[in-house]
Amino acid sequence: AKEVMEYEMSTPKNDYWWWADGLYMVMPVMTKLYKVTGNQQYLDKLYEYFTYAKNFMYDEESTLFYRDGKYIYPKHKTNQGLKDFWARGNGWVFAGLAKVLQDLPEDDTHRAEYIEIYKAMAESLAAAQQEEGYWTRSLLDPAQAPGRETSGTAFFTYGYLWGVNNGLLDKTTYEPVINRGWKYLTEIALQPSGKVGYVQPIGERADQHKNVGPETTADFGVGAFLLAASEMVKYLNDK
């Protein structure tokens, strides 16, 4: 990991993260490697790369992230003409920011900006949660890809739990969001067999798959479920 990251950081390129998933895949690696090495370049390049990604994927009005450059409004719209924000894509970013803030030094120059975006996303995502506790695959247009979806929901639930557990999100405000998300994950997504269902398969857009059901699962969905559970344990222990 050090060899790869040190090579990347030695180049003048800053456009490595051109899709939402990439932020989760690498941002926490850079903060963890900073903790291991003490090399300030990891934090400097983290901000440089994040700024590049944010400048074209982050929608200031909706405070959500487009999956990549192909899905930016108005070039791309839902069938109803709305902005199309993919749930799992935003799940990767929301969870990634939580993991970064976990390891980022308190006195980091850019910490306040990461927190600002994390909190703005939390507010927008809360408004998009469905009554049953899940988030639809197209966050602001449920009709674009209706029905339950677990991977985005699990990442969001993790992000909210981490924020409350670490004092960045207000418990009174977000406890109902957490409870609805956890109820969905444990009573609907989790099947009697132990399988975690309703996980949208590998893809890149909200309406890519038509039959996401109780038997539809994937490793990353199970991982997101366990990530949420790891924070739920801490949440319950703090009550």
Give the residue extent of every domain in the chain. 2-237
The pLDDT, as a whole number, for residue 40 is 98
**Catalytic residue numbers?**
21
The pLDDT, as a whole number, for residue 105 is 98
Residue among 68, 230, 237 at smallest CA distance from 154: 230
The whole-angstrom separation of Cα 154 and Cα 57 is: 22
* pTM for the model: 0.98
CATH 3.40.1360.10 fits 2-237, yes or no: no
One pLDDT digit (tens) per residue for the chain, 239 residues: 999 999 999 999 999 999 999 999 999 999 999 999 999 999 999 999 999 999 999 999 999 999 999 999 999 999 999 999 999 999 999 999 999 999 999 999 999 999 999 999 999 999 999 999 999 999 999 999 999 999 999 999 999 999 999 999 999 999 999 999 999 999 999 999 999 999 999 999 999 998 999 999 999 999 999 999 999 999 999 87
